[in-house]
Copies of this chain bind each other. A is one copy, B any other.
Amino acid sequence: MGMGRPREFDAEMALDQAMEVFWRHGYEGATIAQLTEAMGINPPSLYACFGNKEGLLKAALDRYTKLRNIWMDEVVAAPTARAVAERMLMGIADKQTDPANPPGCLLVQGGIACGTGSENVPFELAARRAQNEDQLRDRFVRAKAEGDLKESADPAALARYVSAVSVGMGVMASSGADREALRQVAKVAVQAVEAQSSDRPQ
């Protein structure tokens, strides 16, 4: 029993192309024809490798969040809650306006509302956004324990807040906001975290 004909395309490079299509057109707006053309393969290869359209999206999301998690680890490595928020939001301002990618964030652009048969796509995206929020919350819990955040601070609320601002910036970016506009938003947003930070030096 042989192992069969080997795949002629690189799955990760194909995923990068699919990711870009989903990012730009959303899950429902992306067609199999667009995806296969961008990936440089034919539909049967796509279905053999990823199952169906939703499987392809999940694989693309896995790749996206994998890269994003590496960056998030750097974010939460910042020394204070304020620095974490600043590094996160200023970084997002830059990432979401990086001309190498479509504007905005795949976890938002992928699909906020979907039609019948794709109802779980928005849930899937929300679950991945929640992972980042959880990581932020854990970091802010630590910041409070370290006395970096005030006793009155609510780490979970702060994490939700930073996550919400990130999402809002993503929508703004996808509708044409430039990098400077997003940086201004980030700077203002950080002040709310600063307001919950302890006055004593870290």
Contacts of A126 in B (CB 8 A): 175-176
**Cβ–Cβ contact B26 & A113, under 8 A:** yes
Q: Which residue of B lies closest to A153 (CB)?
A: B188
Q: Is A20 an interface residue (CB 8 A)?
A: no
State in angstroms the CA–CA spacing of A168 and B110 once bound together: 15
Query: Is residue A166 within 8 Å, beta carbon to beta carbon, of the partner chain?
Result: yes
- Contact between B26 and A115 (Cβ–Cβ < 8 Å)? yes
* Stretch of A6-14, A55-63, A191-199 with 4 or more beta carbons under 8 angstroms from chain B: A191-199
Whether A174 is near chain B, meaning CB under 8 Å from some CB there, is yes
Counting chain B CB atoms within 10 Å of each CB, the highest count among A26, A112, A126 belongs to A112
CB closest residue in chain B, given A129: B175
A69 CB–B CB distance under 8 Å? no
Determine if A25 and B167 form an interchain contact, defined as CB atoms under 8 angstroms apart. Answer: no
Instruction: Choose one: B113, B166, B169, B189; the contact of A109 (CB below 8 Å).
Output: B113
A157 touches B (CB below 8 Å): yes
Q: Which one of B29, B161, B168, B181 lies within 8 Å of A115 (CB-CB)?
A: B29
With A125-B175, A164-B189 already in contact, 19 other A-B pairs whose C-beta atoms are closer than 8 Å: A25-B114, A26-B112, A28-B115, A29-B116, A29-B118, A104-B112, A111-B113, A112-B112, A154-B184, A158-B188, A160-B172, A160-B177, A160-B185, A164-B165, A167-B168, A171-B171, A190-B192, A191-B191, A191-B192
